[in-house]
Amino acid sequence: MAATETRRSSDGAASREEQARRFAEDARRRTDERRKKASGGVSGWVAGRAGKWTLEGMHDRWMQRQKYFWNPLADYWFRMEVEGWEHLPEPPVLLIGVHSGAPFVWDAWTVGVHWWRRFGTERPIHGTAHDVLMAAPVIGTFFRKMGVLPAAPDSIAAALAAGHDVALWPGGEVDSLRHWTDRDRAILAGRTGFVKMAIRAGVPIVPIATVGGPDAMPILATGRRLARWLRLDRVARLKVFPISLSAPWGISPAVLPEIPFPTKIRTAFQEPIELGTDPELAEDDEYVKAKYEEVRASIQRGMDALARRRRLPLFG
């Protein structure tokens, strides 16, 4: 009986790996076609540069040199607390969360740093970023050395098929640049693609709840009308052009590099959410929406619990 169960488990794992590999190949083909259509102009330049990625993960030597910056930042400036490690299943998993700020989303970067401190290179994780950031000459190079991938189906599917964990922030700029009054809301922007991706790759989803990050650079106005007027969605896939309170600029566009305010960041991995692995479920809108809401609700419950620990309205 034990031998039979082991064989079934092995066969199931092999089947999931093959499913993930096929999905990665299909995602690469579709994404390449999309990028070719975007060729020419600013959007073509962004798509072309963002499409250059590898699965090398965090460079250990690079991280060793940077730890003298990241460790004090995480431990003393942000006084970061991370919990829920026991909820992580065996890799690969798709981690889904919310984040804050731009271009450096401190509550996301510090999760990656804590991951590296816990697992080193034994369990690689890839963060994800907007094409505009991946295409930027200096920032894009830095992101790649940190193991970051473009938030696109081909790169994420390839990482999961390779057995790597991936952290994805589906809400994108709508989430990371949300108004400060929404700082404790789980905003995934209605984007259900991550559920379909997890189904097709045959991996579970681990929700990430976090609070405190929005206080590092409070957003005073989202600038949706200005973004539409500047046609940023068509040029750079941006739906907002926010105004923030940041150091040293004061009230200014949120895209400027800033010195983050010393907020306290609390993060917790939630219990994993299992999904059916039949690829046809990815076409079942009701199933996908139900799983999307399950993930969003899990993040929100976690954020509510973490927010109740605040000792001060700001930075606490």
Element of type H or E holding 60: helix 60-72
Residue 242 is predicted with a pLDDT of: 87
Of 7-21, 50-64, 125-139, 158-172, the range with the lowest mean pLDDT is 7-21
Question: How would you class 283 by CB atoms within 10 Å of its CB: exposed for 0-12, middle for 13-18, buried for 19 or more?
Answer: exposed
Split at pLDDT 50, 70, 90, the class of 311 is: confident
Tell me the sheet residues that pair with 252.
244
Strands 266-269 and 205-211: what pairing?
Answer: antiparallel
Residue spans of alpha helices (H) in 230-284: 232-236
Residues above pLDDT 90, as percent of the chain: 55
pLDDT digits (tens, 9 = 90+) for 201-223: 999 999 999 999 999 999 999 87
Q: How many CB atoms lie within 10 A of CB 185?
A: 16
The structural domains of the chain, ordered by start, are 11-307 (3.40.1130)
Confidence of residue 40 (pLDDT cuts 50, 70, 90): low
Average confidence (pLDDT) over 252-273: 93
pLDDT of residue 237: 63
Q: What is the mean pLDDT of residues 292-308?
A: 98
| Residue 80 burial by Cβ neighbours in a 10 Å radius (0-12, 13-18, 19+) | buried
Tokens of 284: 């079942």
On the question of pLDDT at 2 being above 70, the answer is no
pLDDT at 275: 96
* pLDDT score recorded for residue 248: 94
Q: 36: which 2 tokens?
A: 């070719």
What percent of the chain is helix, strand and coil (3-state, nearest 5)?
50, 15, 35
The larger pLDDT score, comparing residue 92 to residue 42, is at 92
CB 206 within 8 A of CB 194: no
What's the confidence (pLDDT) of residue 9? 47
To the nearest whole number, what is the mean pLDDT of the chain? 87
pLDDT at 12 over 90: no
Tell me which DSSP letter residue 73 carries: I
At residue 169 the predicted structure's pLDDT band, cuts being 50, 70 and 90, is very high
Residue 81 has pLDDT above 80, yes or no: yes
Question: Distance (Å, rounded) from C-alpha 296 to C-alpha 300?
Answer: 6
Residues with Cβ < 8 Å from 12, sequence gap 6 or more? none
**pTM surpassing 0.95?**
no
At 4 the pLDDT is 36
| Bigger pLDDT: 292 vs 7 | 292
Q: Taking the mean position of all CA atoms in its chain, how far away is CA 58?
A: 15
Q: What percent of the chain has pLDDT over 70?
A: 89
Residue type at position 309: R
Of 255 and 76, the one with more pLDDT: 76
The model's confidence at residue 8, banded by pLDDT at 50, 70 and 90, is very low
